[in-house]
Structure 1
Amino acid sequence: MPPLDAEYLPFKLDPIARRVLWLRLNAQQRREAAFLDDRAIPPRADGAWRPLESLIEHNDGDDAPPAHAIFHIGHCGSTLLSRLLDSWPDVQGLREPLPLRTLAEAWPLLDSPQSRLSPRQADDLLRALWRTWSRALSPQRRSIVKATSGCNGLVAALLAQQPAMRVVLLDMPLRPYLATLLKAPASMHDAAAAAGERLRDLHARGIARDVALHALSLPQQCAMGWLAERLRFCALAQGEHAGRVLRVDFETLLAQPERELRRVAAHFDLDVARVEDALASDEWNRYSKATAHGYGRDDRAHDLALSMQQNAAAIADGEDWVARWSPTPHRATV
């Protein structure tokens, strides 16, 4: 396998065997993939496992501009936004690459004896992975990576590593967020799966330190995760790299799409004239994670209204938890 062939992506990371799976994916396969995980592996896949050092070799002499990124709280329209950005012909969208999730899971343990990676090794891997994903296939010139929601702990490290990188932080208000999760049990469990790391982050901020995960209901766990991520996003948007961070609310994107897409395009230094193409995109009328299925803004509004009615008690349970633990100085901003 040629080490510098741009069609190969680092597809899986194996810290135990210290290897990386390289997989060939052409531009169409990348564009069609809602997730760069096993669901994106094509028939008769062309790939191979190689040592982690191959990541460094793959980036020797590479001067591609760093990929921009979309980070989000989960189930808040990030796949739709990523697909809308595909309306720019010079943009390569990469959605939820697995190695980023692997690193995000390893990151909180880096200073512990049980970590399989040293802090230096993890930092080097993150830099090498990002440089590889930054290499867009011609005629595209710029990559925009949409991360998995569990990767938000890497935002600060990436901003520090990549001085020219810009980030969109996407979320939504608590009530529609909970209604979205509660209308789909799989989404609720997906959000709750990240609750442990998010509670640890709250504890690190001095919030809800007496709260144990096992004592929380599922709606409370999801509301707690929402609060943790909103506080993280607030800190990033007001921190050292604030000028390279743009917060976007999904409800506002739906209500005022032209204005919000112009903000995103300007932030990512994309041609603002292409916003018209994004506004006309059929992606607005499809379920972004499975585009064969129709699902438009009216469908979403109907489903949310129904969920808010059917799950009123559970939503109130989550809202009450946030009202109790949200720090007073942040109530207006989280």
Structure 2
Amino acid sequence: MDLNKILSDPNWMPQSINPGNIIFEEISADTLKSSAFLDGRAKGKTGRSVSVPITHLLTALPNLRNAENELFEIFHISHVGSTFIARLLDEFGNARVYREPTVLKGLAYLYREFNEGASPFDRESLVELQELVFALLIQHNQKNIVKHSSQNLIIPKNAKNRRLNTKPALYIFTSLENFIAHGVASPGLKADAINGGASRVKHFNSLSSMDRLNLFELSELQRIALVWMSEVLKINSRYRMDLNDYLFDFDKTLATKQKTETVEILANHFRFDLKSEEVSKIVHSDVWIFDSKGGSKKSYSDRLKKMKQNKTKYKKELTETIDWVCELTHRNLHLHPLDLFL
């Protein structure tokens, strides 16, 4: 297939990376808006794909850059409502919203391999590849919002998009208490705490100066807390107040603010100029009353109710786990930033 055809058609989306090529897959016009995620669960893919040599794409990179096209990014800790926020932003209009494009997971994997000395790419090649991938994602629309997977927190902030119009990032988190209260009854988060435990305990131990954790000695709630600690530390390392990045406390915001206020916070950060009738339309959207991942009827009040129940049911274990995290934080110099998020 002709390269110009692929690059000019917004329905050809970069999907994955291998050492010599980027694989593009064809999506339909409603794939981005109808899909909670852009992996195998995405809707409307045609099944067609094509492999393009990276060298050919790098030749085209100067023509892909468009100073008017904006890139906004959303990073987040796991299981914190980021899919809902990205779904909500779809309602704002005039933005191309990507929810966890798999090509960026591939890029994060390459950075992990590079850090471990097992990547076929050198540092400069990875930086150039990162710029290329983002240029491909944002070339078809003026306002573009990319919600990353929590795995992508490893992607270097200072390496990306040196010649692209990158805007302040939004970082979504929640307090440790709320994270555990949600996670203790969440099969997905509990599974994540087990399956991703090894990498997270290694990350923790690489930063801890006075304590060494053994994954097999941790309680269930401590494993959930480990997810929070590891990912919050990564967010802290990326967050830049001087670049106007925004820390968005999901549960605090949705539990204490009116929907209109939440919409206005997001509109201000992502630079949407909304009229009052547009705000009203967003506030009354069905996004607020349906599960953002599965489509069943489920609102934030359900999450809040469950967390309150769990805070009562697991009060002793929750208190002990938070105290454990506080002790670790105070004993270890490189863990002190966790205090800001507790």
Consecutive unaligned residues in structure 1, runs of 5 or more:
none
- Closer/same/farther in 2, CA of residues 270 and 177 from structure 1, 3 Å limit: same
Q: Could you tell me how far 1:286 is from its partner in structure 2?
A: 0.5
Verify the 8 A CA contact 1:76 1:177 in the aligned structure 2.
yes
- Structure-2 residue corresponding to 1:327: 330
Q: In 2, distance between residues paired with 1:105 and 1:209?
A: 28
- Structure 1 residue matching 2:36: 3-state secondary structure: coil
Matches for 1:1-334 after TM superposition, within 5 Å:
1=1, 2-4=5-7, 5-15=9-19, 18-40=20-42, 42=44, 44-57=46-59, 59-64=61-66, 65-136=69-140, 141-154=142-155, 156-157=157-158, 161=162, 162=164, 164-207=166-209, 209-237=211-239, 239=240, 242-254=242-254, 255-256=256-257, 257-273=259-275, 274-291=278-295, 293-312=296-315, 314-327=317-330, 330=337, 332-334=339-341
| CA deviation string 1:9-31 (max 9, x = no partner) | 1112234xx33221122331111
TM-score, normalization by structure 1: 0.86
Which moved further from structure 2: 167-176 or 23-32? 23-32
Q: Could you tell me how far 1:83 is from its partner in structure 2?
A: 0.9
| CA deviation string 1:43-95 (max 9, x = no partner) | 64222233333543564402332421110001111011111111122111100
- Residue identity opposite 2:251 in structure 1: E
Which moved further from structure 2: 157-166 or 300-309? 157-166
- Closer/same/farther in 2, CA of residues 105 and 208 from structure 1, 3 Å limit: farther
- Closer/same/farther in 2, CA of residues 28 and 207 from structure 1, 3 Å limit: farther
Verify the 8 A CA contact 1:21 1:49 in the aligned structure 2.
yes
Q: Could you tell me how far 1:269 is from its partner in structure 2?
A: 1.6
- Closer/same/farther in 2, CA of residues 155 and 93 from structure 1, 3 Å limit: farther
- Residue identity opposite 1:244 in structure 2: N
TM-score, normalization by structure 2: 0.84
- Closer/same/farther in 2, CA of residues 180 and 121 from structure 1, 3 Å limit: same
| CA deviation string 1:268-308 (max 9, x = no partner) | 221143443322221010000122x1101222222223333
RMSD: 2.7
Aligned length: 326
Verify the 8 A CA contact 2:30 2:44 in the aligned structure 1.
no
Consecutive unaligned residues in structure 2, runs of 5 or more:
none
- Residue identity opposite 2:214 in structure 1: A
- Residue identity opposite 1:172 in structure 2: T
| Identity %, equivalent residues | 21
Q: In 2, distance between residues paired with 1:123 and 1:209?
A: 34
